[in-house]
Structure 1
Amino acid sequence: MFNRIHHIAIICSDYEKSKDFYVNKLGLTVLSEVYREARKSYKLDLAVNGLYQIELFSFENPPARPSRPEAQGLRHLAFEVDDIAVEIARINAVGITTEPIRVDEFTDKRFTFFSDPDGLPLELYEKEVG
């Protein structure tokens, strides 16, 4: 039986730009950072709200991948937030553009999308109260 999602791995095209985005703009916490000489690759472990959840990798010349929300494969990564308006204002203030807020037709929760430096679709989804 599965317990939970352990982590999500993201391969970026520009490590420093993506590290700045996830750490300085989104505010994720760095748990560890290593450079693997044999692979010429960085691995950055990040925490979301104190929980290890994202691995950010760099590799030499990674192939491009379609990253539209309706492309086949993994659709997007969603971050739960307490107040979507507050988080939108926070990330807009550091230069991240978000789509207009939408409402989930099944849960009535508010959400929006934005992209990381490589065009990976990211979502803010308002927390379930209760």
Structure 2
Amino acid sequence: MPALSSYLRKVLLADAVVSGAAGLVMIGGADLTHDLLGLPSALLFWAGVALIPFVTLLAMIARVGRAPVWLIAAIIVTNFAWVAGSLFVAFGPAFGPSLFGQVFVIAQAAIVAVFAELQIIGLRRSSAAA
């Protein structure tokens, strides 16, 4: 397994921290934010639960500092899939969030997209250093 650049390790750790915080807020606040966001409590809760293994993986990789390229690529793809799913939640016919809910979903999707882009940069730096 190739060593990851310091930059990529920091990006993965930051993604883990932000995703972990978001997951805890979604799990703990699903019932409280339902009316404000106009999103089903179950969607918020289970999206938060889904982040737990993702956050664990990110933190483990950042700590160890080594991972196969395909695993980092899978993390990047997962982040972009989260963005696509978020856009569906914000604008698709299935959920109908409030305006504040749309803004919230789009904002978190933008943050996830930035992490994916930073991870692409980090992967390139790690590959160039190898």
What's the TM-score once normalised by structure 2's chain length?
0.32
**Higher helix proportion (structure 1 or 2):** 2
Larger relative contact order (CA 8 Å, sep ≥ 6) = 2
